[in-house]
Each structure stands twice: as C-alpha cells, then as structure tokens.
Amino acid sequence: MHNTKNDLAREKREKIVELLNARLADATDLKSQAKQAHWNVKGIHFFQLHELFDQVATAAEAHTDLIAERATALGGTALGTIRMAAKNSSLSEYPLEITDGTAHVDALSTALADFGKNVRKNIDDADELGDADTADLFTEISREIDKLLWFVEAHVQA
C-alpha cells in the first residue's frame, strides 16, 4: 500500500483494494467476453447483437477504469493487466465455439449476471468496512450491469 492521507484505516483500505481488484479482474474479463461475442456472432439478428455486445464491452471498459482508479486512490495498486484478469477472474470461461446469436445471448447474459451478483455483494462488503464511496461506486456499476443484462436477455424473452 502507498501512503495516503485518506482517513480510512489502512487495514480497511487493504481489504477494499482486494475487493476492487477482484472486480477489476472480472470487469476486464467481461469486456473480453463481450468482444468475443461481438466479433463472432452470426445469424439473422447479427447487426443488433453485434452493436449490443459492443455496448456491453464499452461499459465494462468504463467500469475497469472506475474500479482501478478507486483502488489507487485508496493507496493500492490496480492489478489490471490481461494476465492478472485471466488469473483472477471469477467469471466462467466464455464458450469459444459458438456463433449463433441466441447462444451468445445466453453466454453473455450469464457473465453479466455473475458479475452483477459479485458487485452487489461488494456493495455490502464496502459498506461494512465503512467505505460509502466504494459502496456507491459498486452501486453505480450494479445499476448499469442490471440494465445491460436486461438489454441482452430481452433478445430471448418473448
């Protein structure tokens, strides 16, 4: 940890930075999974899904920046390389053999739901550690992920 005049106790900051780095790995992985879907989707709804999956990737990338900057603001080090994400992501591996739009919707919605679940848990974790700012950051991310999940899932709901 780096020295900072932030008034959160060092032990709390260390735990919060650990939470942030776990979600940073997931958000980086989510971005790459959305790009995998974006690049490889085929079928009658190609264009709509291609654009939607890119929107998910763009949002995930924005989340990585918010998460990483919060970790460093607390005196931590953002562990944001692709190798760190591959090593530490809690998301399931994306199925590489799929091309069908419905299969991509299913796979990406699973990743979004899992990421959202972890972020929601971290809202409570950050709150318990007395860091309302990180809890608020996770709340902001949670709202956006839930919205994106709704957009993706709507393609298979009748």
Give the mean pLDDT of the chain.
96
Q: Are 57 and 35 in contact (CB under 8 A)?
A: yes
Under 8 Å between Cβ of 40 and 49 = no
Mean pLDDT computed over 34-61: 96
Whether pLDDT at 149 is above 80: yes
Mean pLDDT, residues 120-149? 98
Mean pLDDT value of segment 80-108:
95
Q: What is the pLDDT, as a whole number, of residue 156? A: 86
Residue boundaries of the structural domains of the chain: 10-153
**% of the chain residues with pLDDT over 70:** 99
Residue 157 has pLDDT above 90, yes or no: no
Asked if 78 and 24 count as a contact pair (C-beta separation under 8 A), the reply is yes
Supply the pLDDT for residue 41: 96
Residues 30-41: tens digit of each pLDDT: 999 999 999 999
- pTM, entire model: 0.95
* CATH value of 10-153 in 2.60.40.10, 1.20.1260.10, 3.40.50.970, 3.10.150.10: 1.20.1260.10
Whether 137 has a pLDDT exceeding 90, the answer reads: yes
Q: What angle is formed at CA 136 by the lines to CA 131 and CA 140, rounded to 5 degrees? A: 155
